[in-house]
Amino acid sequence: MNKKVLFQDLGQKDYKETWDYQELLFKQTVDLKIKNRREEADEPTPNHFLFVEHPHVYTLGKSGDLANLLVGEEELAAKKAKFYKINRGGDITYHGPGQIVGYPILDLDNFFTDIHKYLRFLEEMVILTLAEYGVKAERSEGETGVWLDVGTPFARKICAMGVRASRWVTMHGFALNVNADLGYFDLMIPCGIKDKAVTSLNVELGKKEVDLNEVKGKLLKHFEALFEAEIIEQEKTSA
């Protein structure tokens, strides 16, 4: 089993370009698995982990309801935001500056073949990272992602998640609000869940800005520990 994970920080990059790049890496891994099976070979499959910061964009998952986007094309254009229907699970999500978006493209045959466990590990990675800032985060039963003050009138989401998997190869991932402009969340019903607020790490800490690179380093550290992986950092690239 190959537990090495090739990590790339793509910096600020258009959503569609990044989605295309994800699809390329995903297809290469799936194709190799198919080839191995047909030829009874055992060539190691690669694992990738991408970090990226997107310009303003709304994405709707396969099971999502378009009604959860509360504005039309003109309003989106005025806000300099784009919209895409995509092939992950989940409902509607916003990505934008000040948010760390992570896309693990893993062959789970290299780790464990359990999607539920995979999602819980991604959540735990975020929970442990936020704990280093003194923020107590947790899961909300039946709602994927990471939340604060669950079970109270002040429950709020700080990290959204939505993944796709085929032949145990994953894509898409999570979006952690670090210095996010929360006003953009007012244009949708986040993840289709009404009456729940959204927050950002800088808001919780009462800071204008939190160091994004510092947060990225903590996420990678906890990812390595949870998945018993070895991160192989590649140069920052525009892929």
**Which is nearest to 101 in space by CA: 70, 122, 83, 72?**
122
Instruction: Give the H or E element holding residue 78.
Output: helix 73-78
154 annotated ligand binder: no
160 annotated ligand binder: yes
Catalytic-role residue among 191, 212, 215, 229: 191
174 annotated ligand binder: yes
Collapsed DSSP state (helix, strand, coil) of residue 15: helix
109 annotated ligand binder: no
Report the C-alpha gap between 140 and 157 in whole angstroms.
Answer: 9
**Which is nearest to 94 in space by CA: 188, 220, 225, 207?**
188
| Continuous H helices in 40-104 | 73-78
173 annotated ligand binder: yes
61 annotated ligand binder: no
**Which is nearest to 215 in space by CA: 185, 160, 161, 177?**
177
90 annotated ligand binder: yes
161 annotated ligand binder: yes
Structure tokens at 21: 């790049």
91 annotated ligand binder: yes
Q: What length is written for the chain? A: 239
Radius of gyration of the chain (CA): 18
**How many beta carbons lie within 10 A of that of residue 216, not counting itself?**
18
Helices and strands, counts by H and E, the chain: 5, 12
175 annotated ligand binder: yes
Report the C-alpha gap between 153 and 156 in whole angstroms.
Answer: 9
The answer to whether 191 is a known catalytic residue is yes
- The DSSP call for residue 135 is -
Binding residues for substrate, by number, are 88-95, 160-162, 173-175
- Catalytic machinery residues: 191
